[in-house]
A and B are shown apart, each in its own frame.
Chain A
Amino acid sequence: MNRFTRRKALKIGAGAAGILAAPAIMKVARAQTGGFNWKKFQGQSIEVSLTLGPRADVLRRHEKEFTDLTGIKVGSEAVPEQQHRQQVVIQFNSGNPQFDVISISWHVQKRLVGKAKWLADMKPLLADSSLTAPDYDFPDFTAGGLRWATQGDGRMDTLPLNIDPWMIYWNKELFAAKGLAFPKTFDEIVMAAEKLTDKASGQYGWVSRGLKNANVPVWTSFMLGHDMDPVNPKTVALQTTTPEAIAAAEYYKKLNKDFAPPGTVGFNWNESQTSFSQGKIGMWLDGIGFAPPLEDPTKSRVVGKVGYGIMPNGPKSKNSATFGDGIGIAAASKKKEAAYLYTQWATSKLMCARLLQSGGGSPCRASSYSDKDVIAGLKLPREWLTCLQESTAIGRPGLPEIVPVTEFRDTFGIGLTNTIGGADARTEMVKATEAFAPVLQKSEAS
């Protein structure tokens, strides 16, 4: 059953991609006559290590096209986020990473890989016209994407792959049954969640991550609405005990404690998604890239009923907590040029368009959104795209740009999880801040 439908889905996908691919291939042909030679590194083979997810799916599905285009063999793998982040560090640190190309999460790893200079600078490669295809169209990348990709010292050690703004999935049917509209403010979220919750029938108004570490973006989503970042981007001072941060933690506590299904303390995105797709959850706050399975009848009972809501107005500002991924080349790689061709292909207009169409993420190229053919091939409702564009417009980093992001998430994540169990929000945030402050101080000092 599963298999059949996936096959079918792939076929449809391939068809849509075919239409798109035609002009691209013509462009490539033209490029070759114009002097650019994709086959310069024919016969080499590179290793590609990606974080498991829709982005990796799209790249790996079309990998063969890259090999056909360049004659470069690709060995790729997609590893679950947590293990991937861990292995990246261990392998980089060994000085002999087993990959040439690597995808990283900017919001977690950017400063770490930047500080250690584990990735090659893309700028000289981009400037080299013998290595960069004339139709790569670098200026097409959005300013936001390039800002993420560039380190503090001016090096650009990744190419923008994807930006992931957070938004609220809402169940239109449940809202309609209660005569509710999608909330416009944070307080309306709480009110709607309350009205939608009917524990006796197993219906809950809200679900979001309760699992420590994973849950921190939920909290920062509310913090950004108070016009407050967890760490001041200029002074790198912790702002996690400010009234705004505490208020955000209170929202977190209220929603997850009173209106979320039991067991939410152990929920990451996948458990949240499983819950939401069963049709008994009112709202789910998470990244925008989780939509495709919700619209897949083999996996979901809410097909056609999902509303894609922009993060409502906070008391002081309207922001969407945003995260992102880049793709880079290991500085220790011996096949940098071949690897560069791969990253170029992976972030090309064609691949960005495919990523958008799959609904698995939002590419950082303006052309993906302006091209009518691309939009026509979108597999998700138009409402999703609107939500994506408007959310990106109000995007703001959901995690601080510091080295010890994992410790930050872990420490504050524990406090947040505790609030679901009834602990006082302020006490927990103060405790977490005390525990984390020395870590940050040390990491900034070195």
Chain B
Amino acid sequence: MRRLLRNIGFGFSVFVIVSPAILVMLWMLSLSLKTEVDNMSFPPVFIPSPPTLVNFFDVFEKNRFDTYFINSVIVSGLATLVAILVGVPAGYGIAKAQAHKLAMLTLIARITPALSYLIPLFILFQWLGLTGTIWPIVITHLVITLPIFIYVMIGYFESLPADLEEAALIDGCSLWQAFRYVALPLAKPGIVVGAILSIIFSWNNFIFGAVLGGRQTRTLPVAVFNMLTFEQVAWGPLAAAALLVTAPVLLLTLFIQKEIVGGLTAGGVKGG
């Protein structure tokens, strides 16, 4: 009996800590599936009856969501790709050389307010004649993806047993070969985790796209912010757009939660 009570108590506390997360998400879903009249009524209508997809149609009709979606994919994808290409060897090198000072450099990137990159980089892009293209956004997103990625990789390479590489070195492999043929294959799971986290935090970034993006280069979070309409507050379409932007990330988190949790716990990182 006492155990049962304890179990109930424990179950209740689990419910309490998980509910804020789930309630806000459900409220976003609810707002997106209701008509404007229901969204504006007080006391609020919780369960849409009947649910309507009008808000989603509205979002697609009035915005070029497909363009923004593709932009976001390009930006997060390219920024992460570059982070992988240079970040894997960097993580390996820093871990092996125990170059903690270099690791600190990535930490400084983590500490610096994102806004402070914007003006100088913008002027740099101007000199390079890149303004108006999507490249400035991709490059600024490296500020997010690269530190996360290197951080995860350092942790990962440090946790790998060194025996195999050492054996390879003794057999006469060069350092590069030992990295390429021994360490790299072993690091694949770490790369996947680092890449996913990079993509997510780059996807979520608002400020770089907000300042550097134009009509053809706008990313999704900026597009959603711009949905705040001219006349009156239109909650339905706004919630629908918010849901569309964040849904891919949320689904990704739920599907591969184990890897994400592992990566985050190891690095204690986040973007921005």
Contact = CB atoms under 8 A, between A and B. Distances in A.
B98 interface: no
A158 interface: no
Contact of B211 (A54, A75, A77, A90): A90
A392 interface: no
A96 B231 contact: no
A91 B132 CA distance: 8
Nearest to A300: B232
Interface string B203-234: 00000001100111000000001101111110
A2 B131 contact: no
A90 B122 contact: yes
A44 interface: no
Contacts of B226: 52, 79-80, 83
A270 B215 CA distance: 24
Contacts of B57: 3
B35 interface: yes
The residue in A94, A274, A293 that gathers the most chain B C-beta atoms within 10 A of its C-beta is: A94
A3 B233 contact: no
B231 A98 contact: no
Contacts of A3: 54, 57-58, 61
B230 A53 contact: yes
Interface residues of A, number: 36
Nearest to A78: B230
Interface in A173-187: none
B36 interface: yes
Nearest to A75: B215
A298 B39 CA distance: 12
B131 A96 contact: yes
Interface string A71-84: 00001110111010
B176 to A, nearest CB: 41
A363 B232 CA distance: 22
B35 A1 contact: yes
A87 interface: yes
B35 A2 contact: yes
B36 A2 contact: yes
B7 interface: no
Contact of B58 (A2, A53, A87): A2
A299 interface: yes
Contacts of A97: 132
B54 A270 contact: no
Contacts of A292: 231
B230 A277 contact: no
B131 A290 contact: no
Given A53-B230, A80-B230, A299 B215 contact: no
B19 interface: no
Contacts of A290: 231
Contact of A274 (B214, B228, B233): B233
B232 A273 contact: yes
A94 B228 CA distance: 27
Kindly name the residue among B36, B55, B132, B214 whose own CB sees the greatest number of chain A CB atoms within 10 A: B214
Contacts of B61: 3
A271 interface: yes
Interface in B137-166: none
A98 B212 CA distance: 11
B58 A52 contact: no
A1 B54 contact: yes
B129 interface: yes
Interface in A294-312: 298-299
B91 to A, nearest CB: 35
A5 to B, nearest CB: 10
Interface string B72-90: 0000000000000000000
Interface string B9-53: 000000000000000000000000001110010000000000010
Interface of B: 35-37, 40, 52, 54-55, 57-58, 61, 122, 125-126, 129, 131-132, 210-211, 214-216, 225-226, 228-233, 236
Given A52-B226, A298-B36, 13 more contacts: A3-B54, A80-B230, A83-B210, A83-B225, A87-B211, A94-B125, A94-B131, A96-B129, A97-B132, A98-B216, A99-B215, A270-B233, A299-B36
Interface of A: 1-3, 47, 49, 52-54, 75-77, 79-81, 83, 86-87, 90-91, 94-99, 270-271, 273-274, 277-278, 290, 292-293, 298-299
The 8 closest A-B pairs by CB, nearest first: A98-B214, A94-B131, A77-B215, A273-B232, A274-B232, A98-B132, A53-B230, A293-B231
12 contacts: A2-B35, A52-B226, A75-B216, A79-B226, A83-B210, A91-B132, A94-B131, A98-B214, A98-B215, A270-B232, A270-B233, A274-B232
